[in-house]
Structure 1
Amino acid sequence: MKLYRILFILFSFCFTSLNSQILEPVKWNFHSEQIEENKYELVFIADIDPNWAIYSKTVDEGGPIATTFYFTESSNYKLIGEVVEDSINMVTQNDLVFDMVVSKFYNQAIFRQKVEIINYDNPVSGGFEFMTCDDTQCLAPEIIDFKFNLSNKVLESDVKETISINQNNLEKNNLILYGFLPTDIKKSKVNCSNSSANTTTVSSPTKTLFNIFGLGFIGGLLALLTPCVFPMIPLTVSFFTKKNDNTNGYSNAILYGVFIVLVYLILSIPFHLLDSVNPDILNDISTNVYLNIFFFIIFLLFAFSFFGYYELSLPSSWVDKSAKRESAGGIIGIFFMALTLAIVSFSCTGPILGSLLAGSISNDSAAWELTAGMGGFGLALGLPFAVFAMFPNMLESLPKSGGWLNTIKVSLGFIELALALKFLSNADLVAHWGIIKIEVFLILWFIIFLLMAIYLFGKIQFPNEIKPKNISFTRAVFALLSLGFALYLASGLIYNKQTQSYRALSLLSGLAPPLGYSYLAPKECPNNLNCFKDLKSGIEYAKKSNKPILLDFTGYACVNCRKMEEHVWPLKQVDSAIRENYVLISLYVDDKKILPDNEQLLVARTNGKGVRKLINYGHKWAYFQAQYFKTNSQPYYILYDPNSNEILNNPVGYTPDEEEYLAFLNCGLEAFKNN
């Protein structure tokens, strides 16, 4: 039963955090009471909604998150003893969710801490973490900061954020950063003659999820054709067909396939928790320099593992523990059979899952995209096991295991090697190192896929491989495709005189660095356009030139941004419309360059709960987009009147259709002229 409890708590975290209704069953109040000269008791009171509870300070390992307090170290005060919890409303009993005895509070919980004040000029500050559950769901653990100013015995604290700053200061900071407030923005009432342009909006997230699901499904099929997975199909089918009668065999086989999908879906749940804490946290993760370097190293390890130089696997103790649970029989046994498959096949599935993870977290709706991808991957992996177990006669049509499985594995190694360079390129772009520019990237990818072609032609062997006597027709076809792709990459180094940059390769949009990020043909702006990367200077220039603004929220690691810049903006009519009629302001939401000290200011969180400090330019522009325009996806294009602070028409996101994007630009220009 403990398995069901764990699954319950994970899913409840995920779906309550993504529910449109924000649940806040616990409300905290703080106050201080003087007990002696220079000694005070700090009181923390949690008022809890009916049927909800928070947990005690003391919880055994493996249970819920205990309520934990911490205080900022300071020579200005001294703690007297530890935090004490009142026993009123405390209930100690078996918790149905965690299947263990725990102490928790219903209705109200009170915690007290005694302090001795040495210097009244500084506050007593710190924070605490707590978790709350009812009988059907648990909310993700929450951290709350506090600050007591005891010089006048007045509590200076916001329950959700403790930095002392009022609304006027926040508005002043917005003016310093951007020159105007969110309330200054107006929507134009002008209707365009082309009504379709008025209704252009960001591309459907549902369509994107289906695409990611499809990619995950393809990844699962590739994993199925690796030496770690393919030979397990007849073994698993034999288990279901011999051990069970037909009826149970069918139902258990279907259940086995469902559990394989479930195992991979569970892996995506932590990313929903991260996404619910801060809407741009996954963007911060995906563009983090150190994380991209980490991915680069991991993908190198995956690549050489696929080449056969060593074997990557999860700890054998995990396999042993999971395999032992298989003997439990019934539903539990089948679940652990699925879990064992996922663990023992990790050396082949891990690199593919890593690609799926790394690709998803760099996009908007990253957590849901990862879930869709994991679902597709699990379905592709689980479906054949279930189908062949239901219809074992179909096994005869499967090809026999052999060297072709290792050929697929090694080929995937070359692809992992190419993807490793993508992450190193991301780090280079965001950190402004200026090393992996477009020429270096294309040359290295050309070498990788050329070597892949040579390998498939049988001219290179890796460890534990035997040189093939004959090259099969299928292998020769893939060798030619790899060689063709290498030549395609080489064509990316052809200089385009019209755009004064290299030839744009549509298949590499978002994978390769921007064309302007070059040693030989550097360009500050896409398509050799004139652009500003600072909001205030761009607005000032637009006012002087009496032109509307094309506000471009973009990112160095944004795939669809590169597609727009390299395949839509260079089109003759689009280029003319932007170049002649608009002032382009490109704001990179993943720019890690540190802000000047006078711009590292506090701003209100976009969810309305407390404040945050802006550290780098990416924070500045991501906050600007989220707070002022209520969205955090990229690319995102806004046509803006700098004189009236009006949004001229409906903003758009990724819009690959030339006519649709041109209609959007013309609509905004028409609205600007009518203004």
Structure 2
Amino acid sequence: MRFIIFVVLLLSSFSGSAQILQPAKITAGTGTTQAKVGDVIDLIFKAQIDQNWYIYSLGFDEDCGPIPISITLDKHPSFELVGGVVAINDEAKHDKIFDCDVRIFKVSGEFRQKIKILSKDLVLKGIYEGQVCTEVDGKCVLFDGDLAFGKISVTGEDKKQDVQKPKAEEKSVINTTPVTEDAIDTVKSVIEPAKVYSDKVTGPVLDEALIQQSAQQQSYWLFFALAFVAGLAALLTPCVFPMIPMTVSFFTGQGNSKFKALMYGFFIIAIYTLIGAALAPLMGPETANHLSTEWIPNLIFFAVFIVFGLSFLGLFEITLPSSVVNAADRQADKGGLVGIFFMAFTIVLVSFSCTGPIVGSILVSSAGGEFIKPIVGMFGFSLAFAIPFTLFAFFPSWLSSLPKSGGWLNSVKVVLGFLEIALAFKFLSIADQAFHWGILDREINIAIWIVIGLLIGAYLMKWFLLPGDTGKDVEEKRIGIPRLSMAMITFIFVVYLIPGMWGAPLKALAGYLPPLYTHDFNLLAASASTTETCDEPQYGDFLHLPHGLNGYFDYKQALACARQQSKPLFIDFTGHGCTNCREMEAVVWSDPQVLERLQNDYVVVALYVDDKTELPESAWYTSTYDNKVKKTIGKQNADLQITNLKNNAQPFYVLVGNDEKVLVAPYGYDKSVEGFVKFLDEGKKRFAEKL
């Protein structure tokens, strides 16, 4: 059904390629090189964040999901903390998946902590931990590092403080994400795997040949195709279609007309593509985060789309000043390449009232995080727009085969206007979720689309007229087969939407409707899993799988069960603060095809890389990757992913055989149910081949 709404874009797919991402780091300093005992100074922590990424700051409800920054100083009698850590000029963001307000830093950030100097021998050391995410392709990464401070010259006498010397491993925590007492009290001993293969569990082994290719180019090609279709639609508007024979007549009867026709088409493409290139910096990756979280730009775009739609319906006409068009037209009379360029420029200006809303829709939609997308979109649009002018200039005899201009052109314009209005509600939905207004829940949005679809169908059937409908087409009550076919497609689309009023997922439109959790009345709630586990899941009292699935939260225990049941292992590298993990679970895992395979074909284990539950000291180990001691569930799961699979982004799905070898290429953030089902089926097939 997506082809009906041709200007809606496919969200970029996540690449499952093996790579260790390091999009953020924090450096420490004091802002001074000299101080006295008794002085209170600022410790300054500066965050450097790669473009397109953001880190979670402080000052929001830590229980809502995302992980705030945590800074830990080694305790030392040479200083004491004064107050808590402060974030400097961070910004608010509404997390749509967790439905809570958080605070973030983009590009750069700064935190400060005051300390009082107690001794001339000032010793400052520490570590930091946090979460960095991007909405460009759905990745979230945990990051950490050591804090090193510059030398400070301290003068004066040491303060007499009753300070107990800390133990070697003792830390002074400025800010951390707390773990609930129930979670800590219920940690159980590590369960050893079944001794089917060996006593030693090494973790999944990734064959480098299984590295998955990026799906980004596919996204570009689909976006190009959608923009190309938009260009073809623009040709069928009353501002453009009549211009084809008028423009082509300029080239006929002139010397070297074919070369001039080629240059004319080239200049049309160049003008539109240059517009895309000029706006690309404004539509780049940083804009994606802004559009996804801020209510002001989304309300502006909602209003812009409504204005475009009402213009197409005939309420008013959007035109450029006549002086601009006339000036370009005078330049076109000069002849030569300059004249051809300005003639192309003139057609762009003259057709603006019809192409402007379509071009604007492409540019707004391309603000999805990719610098190249506006250029790709404008090139696709202009290519479709220029081809007919060039071809008819080459072969003027084809003009006789063109249908005559008439009221049908206005019908195309009206249908486009209705689609513009329908798409406007996508932007209103984002603002509505950010401020919890509750005015555009999912069923209300679907109801609006149903009404708009019915109006399009009724208009195509000529059951009512609009201001721009004039001429013989108005008097003629008969409906042609193409028009009837479009009406039928529209009514079919409406029928497809209707089950969504009662909770049907409408997966073809999942990215364009408000999330399912906003639906007040859902008759299609997920049923509980019938899958039996081998034993009681470790950490199952505070960790859970979605949709009633039964599974594990410890790799060794899950592998032992997989070997016992002779099933492959489905590993879900996830996180409490992973927004896109929740989105994959809501959109993809909820599909009956996926749930059936996860329940029956695999042993499922969810490995949370950000869980703070500390393990018994006997389970601690030193990582071979960074030589740091891994003490918590999250640290050990993250180390397993990095060390064995050379990847540290979530969500990340891996299928493993009983020999711990990865069966197929890992799968990342990609909301294609078909792709996920294929991934699961291929893993099951490879596992069966090894038996």
> TM-score, length-normalised on structure 1?
0.56
CA distance in 1, matches of 2:521, 2:282: 41
Deviations 1:537-556 (A, max 9, x none): 86999469967644275569
CA contact (8 A) 2:269 2:383 kept: yes
1:267, CA displacement in angstroms? 1.7
| CA separation of 1:461 and 1:320: change in aligned 2, threshold 3 A | same
The Cα of 1:286 is off from its aligned counterpart by 4.7
1:122-201, aligned counterparts within 5 Å? 171-172=127-128, 174=130, 181-182=143-144, 190-191=204-205, 199=210, 201=212
* Secondary structure in structure 2 of the residue aligned to 1:454: helix
Question: 1:657 and 2:657 equivalent?
Answer: no
Give, in angstroms, the shift of residue 504 of structure 1: 2.2
* Counterpart Cα distance in 2 of 1:206 and 1:257: 26
Q: Is 1:457 aligned with 2:475?
A: no
Instruction: Give 1:583's match in structure 2, choosing from 585, 602, 606.
Output: 606
Deviations 1:592-641 (A, max 9, x none): xxxxxxxxxxxxxxxxxxxxxxxxxxxxxxxxx9xx99899xx9535699
Task: Tell me how far apart the structure 2 counterparts of residues 280 and 336 of structure 1 sit (CA, whole Å).
Answer: 35
Residue of structure 2 in register with 1:572 after alignment: 596
Q: Which residue of 1 aligns with 2:259?
A: 251
For 2:315, the equivalent position in structure 1 comes to 309
Deviation per CA, 1:547-599, whole angstroms, max 9, x where unpaired?
A: 764427556998x9976356487541146679x72338799xxxxxxxxxxxx
What's the CA shift string for 1:470-500, capped at 9, x where partnerless?
232222222222122112211223x4xxxxx
In 1, Cα distance between equivalents of 2:232 and 2:582: 28
- Per the TM alignment, residue 270 of structure 1 is displaced from its structure 2 partner at its CA by 3.7
1:226 aligned residue: 237
Distance 1:215 1:376 in 2: 8
User: Is 2:338 the counterpart of 1:320?
Assistant: no
Query: Does the residue aligned with 2:371 lie in a helix, a strand or coil?
Result: helix
- Residues 526 and 353 of structure 1, relative CA distance in 2, 3 Å threshold: farther
Q: Is the 8 A contact 2:283 2:366 kept in 1?
A: no
CA distance, structure 2, for counterparts of residue 162 and residue 442 of structure 1:
40
Structure 1 residues 378-393: aligned runs within 5 Å: 378-393=382-397
Match of 1:401 in 2: 405
Q: CA deviation at 1:667?
A: 12
Q: Does 1:480 align with 2:488?
A: yes
SS in structure 1 at match of 2:451: helix
Is contact 2:574-2:581 (8 Å) kept? Answer: no
Give 1:191's aligned amino acid: V
In structure 1, runs of 5+ residues without a counterpart are 1-159, 496-501, 530-536, 588-624, 642-646, 671-675
Residue 271 of structure 2 is matched in structure 1 by 263
1:290 matches 2:306: no
Tell me, yes or no, if the aligned pair for 1:577 and 1:665 is still in contact at 8 Å: no
Distance 1:173 1:233, change over 3 A: same
- Alignment partners' CA distance in 2, 1:346 and 1:575: 55
Supply the distance in 2 between the matched residues of 1:631 and 1:351 (Cα, whole angstroms).
Answer: 42
Q: Does the CA contact (< 8 Å) of 2:572 and 2:651 recur in 1?
A: no
Q: CA distance change for structure 1 residues 215 and 275 in 2, over 3 Å: closer, same or farther?
A: closer
Matching residue of 1:435 = 439
Do the aligned partners of residues 668 and 487 (structure 1) sit closer, same or farther apart at CA in structure 2, a change above 3 Å counting? same
Alignment partner, residue 652 of structure 2: 637
Contact (CA 8 Å) 1:289, 1:426: kept in 2 or not?
yes
Matched, 1:421 2:425: yes
1:551 is matched with: 574
Counterpart of 2:596, as a letter, is: K
Aligned partners of 1:665 and 1:183: how far apart in 2?
Answer: 36
Q: Is the 8 A contact 2:655 2:683 kept in 1?
A: no
**Secondary structure, in 3 states, of the residue corresponding to 1:213?**
helix
**How far apart, CA to CA, are the structure 2 residues paired with 1:485 and 1:469?**
27
Corresponding residue for residue 217 of structure 1: 228
Secondary structure of 2:404's match?
Answer: coil
Q: How does 1:353-364 map to 2 (within 5 A)?
A: 353-362=359-368, 364=369
State the shift of 1:522 in Å: 10
Deviation at 1:266, TM superposition (A): 1.1
Contact preservation (8 Å) 1:286, 1:358: no
Distance 1:305 1:546 in 2: 62
SS in 2 for 1:401: coil
2:386 maps to a residue whose letter is: G
Corresponding residue number in structure 2 for 1:447: 451
Deviation readout 1:314-351 (Å, 9 max, x if unpaired)? 23333233223323332222222222212221111122
Deviations 1:85-124 (A, max 9, x none): xxxxxxxxxxxxxxxxxxxxxxxxxxxxxxxxxxxxxxxx
Q: Which residue of 1 aligns with 2:51?
A: none
Which ranges in structure 2 are unaligned for 5 or more consecutive residues? Answer: 1-106, 114-123, 134-139, 147-201, 530-541, 546-551, 559-570, 611-641, 657-661
Q: Is the 1:581–1:669 Cα contact (8 Å) retained in structure 2?
A: no
Could you tell me how far apart the structure 2 residues matched to 1:561 and 1:334 are? 55
Distance in 2, matches of 1:257 and 1:631, equals 47
Q: 1:486-526 CA deviation, whole Å, 9 max, x = no partner?
A: 12211223x4xxxxxx2222332311222232112399x99
Distance (whole Å) between structure 2 residues aligned to residue 170 and residue 420 of structure 1: 49
Residues 1:207 and 2:218 aligned together: yes
Superposed displacement of residue 264, structure 1: 1.3
* Matching residue's letter, 2:130: N
Asked whether the equivalents of residues 298 and 428 of structure 2 are also in contact (C-alpha less than 8 Å), the reply is yes
Alignment RMSD: 4.8
Deviation of 1:290 (Å): 1.5
Distance 2:483 2:435 in 1: 40
Q: Which amino acid aligns with 1:261?
A: I
Question: Secondary structure in 1 aligned to 2:574?
Answer: strand
- Residue 508 in structure 1 maps to residue 476 in structure 2: no
| Percent of matched pairs sharing the same residue | 32
Shift of 1:220: 0.5
Is residue 228–residue 381 contact of structure 2 (8 Å, CA) maintained in 1? Answer: yes
Q: How many residues align?
A: 441
SS at match of 1:273: coil
- 1:273 equivalent to 2:291? Answer no
Q: Which residue type is aligned with residue 332 of structure 2?
A: E
Q: Is the 8 A contact 1:438 1:515 kept in 2?
A: yes
Q: Deviations over 1:421-477 (max 9, x none)?
A: 122123223444333222111111101111111111111111132434223222222
8 Å CA contact retained: 1:569, 1:575: no
2:490 partner amino acid: S
Give 1:389's aligned amino acid.
A
Corresponding position of 1:490: 498
Deviation track 1:187-206 (CA, whole Å, cap 9, x = no partner) reads: x86337xx79x726364222
Question: How much has 1:414 moved relative to structure 2?
Answer: 1.1
Structure 1 counterpart of 2:320, one-letter code = L
Contact 1:283 1:361 survives alignment (8 Å) = no
Instruction: Provide closer, same or farther for how the CA distance between residues 315 and 405 of structure 1 changes in structure 2, counting only shifts above 3 A.
Output: same
Give the aligned residue type for 1:253: A
- Report if aligned partners of 1:306, 1:412 keep a CA contact under 8 Å in 2: yes
The change in CA–CA distance for 1:651 and 1:667 in structure 2 (over 3 A counts) is farther
Structure number with higher relative contact order (C-alpha < 8 Å, ≥ 6 residues apart): 2
Q: Structure 1's 219 and 544: CA in aligned 2 closer, same or farther, altered over 3 A?
A: closer
Q: Is the 8 A contact 1:326 1:333 kept in 2?
A: yes
Q: 2:554–2:606: 8 Å Cα contact kept in structure 1?
A: no
Give the Å deviation of 1:222: 0.4
Higher helix share: 1
